[in-house]
Structure 1
């Protein structure tokens, strides 16, 4: 018996030793954790397949070059981390990236089939370092949990920039994804896109998948329109901007010049900590940021002109040093640019709803331009007049406004129909205002009836209860039929739309952010049909920023050191990265002097 107990694994002696051992090891672990060291789990099951899949995901998300997997230091690190892990070769990694791409594609396809009704699309084209043209197609929709989703569907090579090529490739992509119900397509303002939209509209109508006869499927990028308006306004001050840009370019061209400028700023006791940033000439929003910062350092620029002869010599090779009139023009220009800059930031988001604010931004810009046209300053009046001309080209005609974007404002419970009608009356003359209000009302009713499943114009929303004298009173034991017949009263069944429009608007609180999707999530039980409309109308993207942002990823994937990647691999990398993690973009505008100094001296970690 003693011999048996000594060799039995489940014997009391072995169990007691095991308990003591576990107790001491747990105390050791607690001591390690309390001492600031995180202990590893006592048991880990190694799985080569799982580890390899995570390695593939890391290469896709972190945009690492494939040759890095064969780097000796990386292999050594993995061998120390897990000696049993077999590091794949470059060709094996490539093969598994395609496998991951196909797996994630099927997962997204299932998700779309369950969560996506009609889809809103954005598309744009880009030329890579290989001199190949790529087209990005991005889907936007609100899922069953009322969360706005943005997914890149394709990032493929195409053979040209024409609208017809774009439309045919969109059609191919939709067929591949089994998406035949398109709510809207947002593109830039290139005239070639008009032909492409017409072709695509015909194809969608043949699939019987469009609403309101496809009349409003074409969405023009709001950011591009704002850019055109601003460029027209800046024409008169081009020389002033060029001189200020030259001054900024001079101080940013070398560390010694930057140091002299900083000394001037300190001598003038300028407390602003941001550093002037050089703009990108083709991007007016960066010009706004440059002018805003440069104006704060005007005294430093004036002092630099007196102390640095090289500064004056260099700038006189171009347009010269900034004049006092240039700074005055920039100061007058800033309110205009800030108005457009703030509007562009608000309407360019991809992860929050923007369709309900598009026309509100248009109304606000139109109202401010009118006020500037009445200003006493000639410079401001002339600039506002030029902007008004370009504004009216896109938003000053009743037949040029997309009605779906007005409906999106109506579906904002803080605004509804009265708000929209008020600004229509303010911005348009009587004839155009009446035409636009009538079109909005009829389109809203038609859209409601289509979602309700009723053919347009076949039935009125107001239904009179038909009473029959021969009906048996057994079905009306409380005498309601008798009451209605005797008094001549009518039973008016109001639609969801009528109830929604007659309810009081939600209060507008300036400092509180309003979650419109959450409001419709809560109230979709009361308004199920309107909820279905809101879910698709509010998903409309009003800019092509979502598609353009994918080109930033493409530019990093296809850099000068990886220009030999095939178009198929580029699509796999860009799309899989988006599906795995989404896209986050951070915009840095000004740099801090202290942070810049730390960076230059290698002290910033």
Structure 2
């Protein structure tokens, strides 16, 4: 066709094509044939709406001259509507995507695990985010924001009633767990919601373990109690950092000290945040790498010494040694918080693994010869024991999730309990875990107890009339009538190099363990932190910025939920699309490499 167009004498664009060939700078849109091309108005407009939602652009940008110019070049025949029409199409897209997600949930979600949290916007309005976590039919962990709705208060009863209303609107009545932070109001809300869910007959184990406490929040409380004595060494280093960050001139002098000491660390010192104790580790880690720079600043800057002497004084050599000693311990908290805060991978099977590990380290720190370190560890232990030191407060579903990891099972669980508890307490906890997993297996098996030896013998006796020669004794001796649970627990621990993909393992072995695989599919979806819901508030803060504070709560919910639902469909960035910031710095300095 292209060859024909080039030689056809009646082609009206022949002269134009010759001019375009001779002049490479000619605009492609100038071709009359291209100008007459029709575009799909609806498809282009839907893509434009998705772009505004994904990029969190204000609706007023639809009238921006730069956008209008760009659209006039690539799609001159596209009709660009007003921001009111854009808002109306946003609500329309929200409705259509909600219908698709509702259909997907009905087909792929067996039991749903929920996380929720509340937030106050710059409009001084309260919002509640409800996020669903589940494993679909392809054994992929899914996270979907169901609602980002306005609430009248932050009370537990309001939270519970709002969750109940949201679940009813989505048609979700099979809830496994609800993960919340440790606010006392949530305890009241969970009790109300538990009664409602029990009336729906959708909870397992009588709903005793539906309440999940955010592990990241507990770790934050433990860290906070460790530093509640206002340790002087940390306070002096914090004051030094605050000094150098208080003005541009002081920061430039500090940077000069960094250059004089040839410190290769590229980052700068930073202050911690009261509500996030992980930031204390980041602050001390960066400060320790700049120790020589602070010592150089102390020799050069008298004002630095004078101002810090008004408080606790300048950091001493002993302070730096103390920080160097506790930094590995704080790093353990930091790494644990980062690993359990993910929402794109399974975290329930690492909950007690990490929690018990933290407890063991705290015990070791309590035995330290350093009085300050042992005092800090004792304060942490008090808070740790409140949540994880009492076996009766441990959530059995999370211990069972660890057993359902083919690399750990009951063998590792027993060893871990023996490391964390003593004597009768450890024995009682091990018995409780075993009885809980058998009870849960019975529920998933429809109430049938297949693993009891007595039931096996009774069944063999019933079949005795059909077995005059006693051949069934052979099958009984070989254990062919063992339940799935017994077979799974008696198998050797899985051995593999690197991290084991637990979801893929259960996908491949679901044929051998159909009942246990249903248990694993539900329990492994339990989130052990509310980070998934908290991250939605970061999006809410960007959507409801100072220039968009007039958005209605319905529009805010439409923007945040639709953005979350569309995220999974966007292709990931390739390595070539990720900027190399080292090369970018060279480019900005004038060292262009092409």
Gap change, CA 1:334 and 1:467, over 3 Å in 2: same
- The alpha carbon displacement at 1:600 in A equals 9.8
State the secondary structure of the residue aligned to 2:228. helix
Which residue does the alignment assign to 2:471? 484
> 1:298-337 counterparts in 2 under 5 A?
298-337=291-330
User: Are the equivalent residues in 1 in contact too, given 2:348–2:523 (CA < 8 A)?
Assistant: yes
Which residue does the alignment assign to 2:346? 353
List alignment gaps of at least 5 residues for structure 2.
573-579
1:122 aligned to which of 115, 129, 132: 115
1:497 aligned to which of 485, 508, 523: 485
Deviations 1:265-306 (A, max 9, x none): 222232333322232232111111110011111111011011
Which residue does the alignment assign to 2:431? 438
Deviations 1:332-385 (A, max 9, x none): 221221111111011000100000001000121112122222233222222222
Gap change, CA 1:244 and 1:164, over 3 Å in 2: same
List alignment gaps of at least 5 residues for structure 1.
1-9, 472-479, 586-591
Which residue does the alignment assign to 1:530? 516
Which residue does the alignment assign to 2:551? 565
User: CA separation in 2, counterparts of 1:156 and 1:526?
Assistant: 43
User: CA separation in 2, counterparts of 1:594 and 1:73?
Assistant: 30
State the secondary structure of the residue aligned to 1:192. helix
Which residue does the alignment assign to 2:575? none
TM-score (norm 1): 0.86
Gap change, CA 1:166 and 1:583, over 3 Å in 2: farther
User: CA separation in 1, counterparts of 2:475 and 2:99?
Assistant: 61
User: CA separation in 1, counterparts of 2:435 and 2:376?
Assistant: 37
State the secondary structure of the residue aligned to 2:119. strand
User: Are the equivalent residues in 1 in contact too, given 2:451–2:483 (CA < 8 A)?
Assistant: no
Question: Are 2:136 and 1:139 equivalent residues in the alignment?
Answer: no
Gap change, CA 1:83 and 1:433, over 3 Å in 2: same
TM-score (norm 2): 0.88
User: Are the equivalent residues in 1 in contact too, given 2:451–2:486 (CA < 8 A)?
Assistant: no
Question: Are 2:413 and 1:426 equivalent residues in the alignment?
Answer: no
Which residue does the alignment assign to 1:212? 205
- The alpha carbon displacement at 1:399 in A equals 0.4
State the secondary structure of the residue aligned to 2:78. coil
State the secondary structure of the residue aligned to 2:146. strand
State the secondary structure of the residue aligned to 2:227. helix
Moved more, 345-354 or 451-460: 451-460
Residue correspondences, number: 569
Which residue does the alignment assign to 1:588? none
Moved more, 278-287 or 399-408: 278-287
Question: Are 2:542 and 1:556 equivalent residues in the alignment?
Answer: yes
User: CA separation in 2, counterparts of 1:430 and 1:482?
Assistant: 49
State the secondary structure of the residue aligned to 2:550. coil
> 1:107-506 counterparts in 2 under 5 A?
107-454=100-447, 463-464=456-457, 465-467=460-462, 471=466, 482-484=469-471, 492=479, 493-506=481-494
State the secondary structure of the residue aligned to 2:456. coil
Q: CA RMSD in A?
A: 3.5
Gap change, CA 1:340 and 1:583, over 3 Å in 2: farther
Which residue does the alignment assign to 2:71? 78
